[in-house]
Each structure stands twice: as structure tokens, then as C-alpha cells.
A and B are shown apart, each in its own frame.
Chain A
Amino acid sequence: MRPLRARMACAVENADLRQRLDKALTHTIAAREDRVRERADWEALRDAAAARRRHALERLPDLLEEFERNATASGARVHYAQTAGEATDLVAGFTGRPAAPLVKSKSMVTEEIGLRIALAGAGIAVVETDLGEYVIQLANSTPSHIVAPVIHLSAGDIARVFRSELGLDIPEDNDPRTISLAARAHLRDAFLRAEVGMCGANFLTAAEGAVVVCTNEGNAGLCTSLPRRLIVVAGIEKVMPDLASLHECLVLLASSSTGQRQNCYLNILRGPRAGGEPDGPDSVDIVLLDNGRSALLGDDGLWESLACIRCGACLNACPVYGVTGGQAYGWVYPGPIGIVLSPFLGSPEGRAMADACTLCGACGDVCPVRIDLPACISHVRARGAPRLPGIPSAAAAAFSTSPFGLLAGLVRARSRRQGRVRLGPARAWSLGRELPPCSGVPFRRLWRDEGGDDE
């Protein structure tokens, strides 16, 4: 894989990608704003959801044990996995060798650990049933958004994938409705034949031992109803005290992710089917994954990021994501929340992703659970960029006379002539940015004129 900077630069140059992102993000942002306007209690919802998620994280080990007790009492089996490898081994063991491919609904945690690909390596066929994820699977690609995996692709791109990989007869007008209905028809048989189903969890609830999954397509409902065996993979941070405590989070999740008043389907799962029920799984295995989350909980600057409900609103609001899309980040969680999670949850980029941020604060403004993402990103940056010997702090540099003062003078002079900064080492950085002209008066003079001192 090429370096992060090269991938980002390449994405910025891709006019088609920018156009598709612009259309998709504009649509989603407008829909979310409609929801914000129609809920007079929007800020109260955010306050309550933020408090509920933090309340749960502060009691995480107790809630996990309570969840385990109650899920087990309902007949489910609960397992713990410290790493991606442990989770994959557990899932492969439960799955065995089914006669038909396992059907799976969209789950970011399974993307995080590369589960589908790992299972394929173990000889276990998996079919993604979310339309976007199915396209990603067929195209052998990676999702570009945690809610909308294929916003980087046009209808024509998707139709080509279906024609070439499935032989579907999709007319050349590439109508989104025709494409979507073709996928529905094609996947129906996979649902009906599957022996094993898999889903993630938007939330777990301790008091009921329940797994809560939200979808619009209805695919999670089918994955968890028709096959006789069900496997759930969930991050350990997903647990909440009880179902009632999900109220605000569920409203905010739908509104912040897709601008809906509510997701079409909330599936609340509590163990295998009861006697007499015509369908539903006979066995339910729930894998609770750590994969760096316990370390994140111990980080004083970043632990609140575990409150994330994966709505993707911070991606939609991020000006960097808006021009690069998600694949340029090179990891399953792109955008602001991805930057914060990356040092802990196994990103190959580690802290380097923090460079892909302007610290504009838009992500923090929209986060439904009030995660202070700009502060978190600053925290990642500060820890990832130890000061080099001989490089002064920003404050010291601002008030030094040389060489910073000389450099600042040159920038101002160049700015007066060209209208924007394009100077020396800042040239590459400034190519993708529109900056206002520099002030003709140095900050130091303004500061002193206002009575400030150099300390």
C-alpha cells in the first residue's frame, strides 16, 4: 500500500470521487439537519445519550459480566476474544463446514478484524447481505464509509460489478432501483439456504442479555431468523445497562447516520428460539472482542471515544473526509473517529492518520454523544509527535525574532504579492488548501499594541 500522504493526494486529484462524495454527503448532512430541526429536544437527547454512554463505560466490566450472566441464562453462549486472531478462531470453530455460505449482515467490528477474508482463508464461504457490503465483497474492495460503504462508487461502477461477478442482466441505464432489486432477488436464495447467520451489534444490554442490531434493509432480521445457528461478534464497549437506556442513542443513531427518524428495523435478540417458534436459531454464540478497547479505556485523553455509536456523522462533517473519501485513510474506520481509534484498534497507519485533520472542530459539533473529537485528535497528535531537539514550541516560536520572525516576514511578503501562501516547505501542504491572505501586521506587534507581554 502506498503511503498515507500519497493516497490522500491521489484521492484529492480524483474529480469523479469528489463529485460523488459531495453529492452523497450533502444529501446526508441535509437529512440530518432536518431531523435536528424537528426535534426540539435534540440537545437534551445528546446530553442524555452522552451521559448514558459514559455511565456505561465507567461500569464496563460489571456490565459485561451482567450481560454474560443474562445472555447465558437465555441460552446463548458468550465468549471473549482478546485479539482479531482469537475472534477469528472462535468464529471458525462455531461455523464448522456448513453446506451453504454463511450469511452475514453489515458489521464494522468484523471489518476491523478482517473476519470475512480470514474465514475465506479457512475455507468458509461468507456472503455479505447488506447491499453496500455485498458490492465491496464482490469488488474485492474495502468500505469507504462506516455507514455507507460504497459512496465512492457510481451506479455504473456497481452495475459493472454485478454484471461481471454475478452475470446479472442489468440494463445499461444503471438505474439504482433496478440494481438494488437485482441484488435483493439474487441474495434471497442465500438467506433461505444458509445454515449459519452472523451479525454485529449496535448495542448489548446487560439487564436482558440482549443483542440489538439496527438495519434498514431487513437483512439482519433475515440473517438472525432463518439460519439455525447464529454468531454475533461485538466490541466489548457496546454494552449498556438495559434496553430502556438505549432510547436516546437509538433516536440519535438513526438521525445522525442517515437522517432518518428511525431505522426500519431494530432487532432485539435474546438467545435461541423458544419452543414452538417456527424459526430462529437453535444456537447463539456471542463473541465479545477486546482488540485494544481495554487499553483505550485506560487512556485518560481518549477513553470517551469508546462512547462512539458509529453513526458516521463526524465523517460526513469532516472537510478532509469530504475530499478524500474513506479509502485514502487505508483503514476500516476513516475520518475523525478513525484517527482517534487507530492507535489502539490495529490500524496499520497508527498515529499517522492524525495528520489528516485540520482541527476545524466540525466533528465535535455533530457528534451525537458529545465526544470531544478535536481534543482527542490533538491528544493523538501530541503523543505521536515528540518534539525534536532544536525545534521550539509554538509559543516560543511565535515570539522569537529569528529565524521564525524572518520566515513569517517572507510569508507576509509573498502573500501580499500572490494572495495566498505558497512558500518553501509549506508548498506541498498548501496545495490542497485555500488560505486567506496574511495580515500585513505581524501578530507580535498586534499583541504588544493590545498590552500583551512576551511571556
Chain B
Amino acid sequence: VTPARERILRRLREASREPGHERPPALSSVAGWGPPGASPIETFAERFRHFLTVGDETYGSFRTARSIEEAAQSAAEVLRSAGAGSLVAHPSALCVEVLDLLPETGFSPARADRVAEAEAALCEADLLCVETGSYLIRPCDGWARAGSLLPPVQVVLGRESALVGSLGEALQAVSGWNASCCAVISGPSRTADVEKTLVVPAHGPRELHLILALGR
């Protein structure tokens, strides 16, 4: 307990406002997001792709996979086309399954502490937010926070069951996680600080590819 703390809290209590505002209810759930008739997957895909396009350039992709083999095939195509030779991989079961099926194309999984040198990252999103087209990811034993930031090419696997409607619902879920941090990621990193010209990448990845595992 410091004098500064006590003084600030005392001043705030003296200045305290009469409670005149009730807490508003949460906004509507998944049904309210997206154009009428569009499924949550279609809406998520449209919103995710929105972040990938800058002018005439596209910095990533959204794909669906009906099987783990199809997911691995998509991941391989992305890595091959990006020219990525080494990657760091999330230790989730889905990532391990995909990693095991990656064809022999020269990918060499790097240790998690070698994330700065990795040319690509393969991770699994904890949640996918339909309202914003974002994915959420938290660190764990074997997955560094910087894994989502330093490798220039990101391949993100997402389960269909990880879809949530609103950002509020996603944040509600994060509230219950026992994690030191969480990132809500919407597109590859960007800056428009120079004359409002949008440039990808800024400090983070330059490509973001999401593969949605249907039925998982």
C-alpha cells in the first residue's frame, strides 16, 4: 500500500459519480452476424478474406478441408508456394496430425525457441470469431507468443467447432482461460503511417492462410 494509491483512490471516491448508468446487455449472438441467409462459415470467410486484400494484392487465403489429408495438402501448397523451408508448429493434436501428413517437400520443423529463424508457422486457432473474421490464439507449452508474429508466413488451422458468433462471446471465452495472454488476430500485420499508404507487412507476418477443418 503506497501513499499514491491511497490518495488516488480517496480522490476518486470523493469525486465519485452517482451510478446513473446500468450495464447494457450483451449484443446479439451468432444469429445476428453476417448477411441474411449466409452461414457462419460463409460470413467468417468473407470477413477473414476482407483483411487479406490491399489494393490489387492478396496476402493470404481461406480454405476449407473435409479431411485431415485435405488440410495437409492445403498446408503443403501454401508452404511450397511461399518458399518456406522451415516452420515452427503448434503442439495441438490437429497440428500434429497435419504435420505428420505433410509430404516430403523439405519442411523441417524448428524448435519453439527458434521462432525468429522460422520461415513459416503452423498453428491451431483456439477460436474463430464470425463477427470480425478474426482468430484467437494463446501461448502454451511448446507454442511461443512470437510464433504468431515473427515467421513471415502463417498457416492457421481452425476447427469448425471453434467458430463463435460475436467478439463479445469470444472475449467471454477468453475470460475463462487460464492463459498469460491471448491474441485476437485479424489479417496480416500492416501500417499506413507513411502518407496513409497501406503496406503489408509491418512488424508481423506478411501472409496469413487459414484452413478450416470442416466437421472437426
Contacts and interface: CB of A to CB of B under 8 A. Distances in A.
Contact of B27 (A48, A51, A263): A48
B104 interface: no
Interface string B123-141: 0000000011110000111
B93 interface: no
B100 interface: no
Given A222-B149, A247-B168, A261 B50 contact: yes
Interface string B40-79: 0000000100110000000000000000000000000000
Nearest to A47: B24
B195 A23 contact: yes
A269 B180 contact: yes
Taking residues whose C-beta sits less than 8 angstroms from the other chain, chain A's interface range is 35 or more
Interface residues of B, number: 79
Given A151-B196, A262-B51, A265-B184, 16 more contacts: A58-B18, A181-B199, A184-B202, A205-B175, A218-B205, A221-B183, A222-B203, A225-B181, A242-B175, A243-B174, A247-B26, A251-B132, A269-B180, A270-B181, A278-B142, A280-B144
Interface of A: 20, 23-24, 27-28, 41, 44-45, 47-48, 51-52, 54-55, 57-61, 64-65, 74, 79-82, 86, 129-132, 135, 148-151, 154-155, 158, 176-177, 179-181, 184, 187-188, 191-192, 205, 207-208, 216-219, 221-222, 224-226, 236, 241-248, 250-251, 258, 260-280, 288, 290, 294-295, 297-298, 303
Contacts of A263: 186
Contacts of B143: 277-278
Contacts of B20: 54, 58
Contacts of A74: 180
B82 interface: no
7 contacts: A41-B27, A216-B192, A221-B146, A222-B150, A264-B51, A274-B180, A279-B139
A82 B180 contact: no
B111 to A, nearest CB: 9
Q: Which 4 A-B pairs have the closest CB atoms?
A: A218-B204, A298-B15, A276-B141, A247-B168
B81 interface: no
Interface of B: 2, 4-5, 7-9, 11-24, 26-27, 32, 47, 50-51, 112-113, 115-116, 131-134, 139-146, 148-150, 166-169, 171-172, 174-175, 178-197, 199, 201-205
Nearest to B141: A276
Given A52-B24, A243-B172, A269 B139 contact: no
Contacts of B50: 261
B144 A278 contact: yes
A241 B202 contact: no
Nearest to B185: A265
Contacts of A27: 196
B5 to A, nearest CB: 4
Contacts of A268: 174, 181-184
A180 to B, nearest CB: 4
A86 B27 contact: no
B195 A294 contact: no
Contacts of A208: 175
A286 to B, nearest CB: 12
A64 B12 contact: yes
A280 B113 CA distance: 12
Contact of B5 (A45, A48, A80, A188): A80
A216 B202 contact: yes
